[in-house]
Structure 1
Amino acid sequence: MGFQTLPRGNDKGDRPWWLMALVVLAVGIAVIIAFNDIYSQVFATVSRGIVITVIVTFTGFALAIALGLLVALAGMADSIFLRQSSRFYIEVVRGIPILVLLFYIAFVGAPAFVTAYNFVFAPLMADGWIEPLLVRDVSLMWRAIIALTIGYSAFIAEIFRAGFQSIDEGQIEAAMSLGLSRYQRFRLIVLPQAIKVIFPPLSNDFVAMVKDSSLVSVLGVADISQAGKIYASGSFRFFETYSIVAYIYLILTIGLSLVLRRLETRMREKGTRNE
């Protein structure tokens, strides 16, 4: 028996009942928060960490995209040194858990940076132009952002590499025959087509970083998880607190997933019309 072709974007063309169920659940929890004093207090406390979570996620992901793009381009360079350096970076970073990377950057990388900074600018410090830098002067939030940037840049570099290599070599050769420079070939031929391949996995990584940003709480960064941890340890209301923490993360991640999925659909429809 043959298999029926399935519509794109929905496995069997079903209505999104899962989304409707989640909306009903979200509204139900919102009603509980509005009319229950305990849940209202928990929500008011925990929601203070949303701004930090958003800052860490957006800043870390933007920097990870920039660094990942550079690593991907180095991996496709003519220089064997750049290619091997790119591969070394990717394999090493992908082999280290994000939590270990957070600790390493926070408690090894930051002190090393401070030592190097004070060594380089020692003459200026001796003349009184600038003050010596202390480890505590390096924000814990920025240590967390840098760790997330490094951790995700390796995966994003592989996404970029796969997208760029998906372009047919014939198009590159045709562009070269027209006299386009490497930058022009990349901007006019490779990037516009590769972005359709790159966007879906890149959006998945963005949603994943929203969740992984909760790991910064181990450094004491006042995000959603840290706010929940502090409140629960003081009030012993673990069920209420972590139910609200999970609720907020679900709202953020599912809402973001729906927005990104809509953008992906519009990009696909635009590409179809152009063809």
Structure 2
Amino acid sequence: MFFQEPELQYEVTVENPDPHFAKLLQQAIGGQEGEMRVALQYMFQAWALPEGYEEYRNLLMETAAEELGHIEMLASAVTKNLRGSPTEMGEEAQETAATAEAMTRQNPRQFLSAGESAMPVDSNGVPFTGGYIAASGNLAGDLYANVMAEATGRTLATRLWEYTDDPGMKDMLSYLIARDTMHQNQWIEALDSLEDPVPVPASFPQEQENQDVNYTFISTRRDQQPDPSYPWTQGESPDGKGQFSYAAEQPGGGEVVAPEPDSITHDEPNRSAQPDE
């Protein structure tokens, strides 16, 4: 169940409307690093949790609802950057080449399809896709995905902050960057609260996995290299269940030969002679 209030989560102001920046802001709405992704990601993760995980479900849903508010903020920012800007399609300039050229600085569909407003697309106009969403049903795995999502989202927001000189936009982005800081930390804290956050899934019996390579860093270089003595090639593993080691070469074995295809596929090539033995 959802409720809504007719106000923004955080005030959004634009002092110098810029249609090009509106185009860039679309990445923070419908892009792979955007707010649509995390809002839906956290919802679907929450809906998969069984009874007994109420505190995690609440954490995910509270954050998902907050992210919906971020989408609204960004959509407002896009609209304010498009409308009233010196390059909008006003009546007096609609037929001039100068205005047509200026319009290319924004996503044409923001004018043609959305009437100078935000859309559920990225900065290239590519529609949002559910393929961006990570919701595996495994809480630990999903929390790791959430740390990554907030990290890439915060990186995007900082780049947008660096790009704009508009005080209002910098203020809004400063708020979003701060919330990404909190969300990264809360997901890490949630991971730390789990009994076995790694390896994922913790329910699989580790004695069933190959014990020769489960904590071995394997070099894929053609020529054998000495152990570089990095933290991931020696010492105790983070899960406390093994000791890192180093292998200078891959195990190898077997040939890359495909079995004969079924005749109904008609995959047999036409050839006049057999290859040399």
Q: TM-score, normalization: structure 2?
A: 0.28
Report which of the two has the higher share of helix: 1
Structure of larger gyration radius: 2
Q: TM-score, normalization: structure 1?
A: 0.28
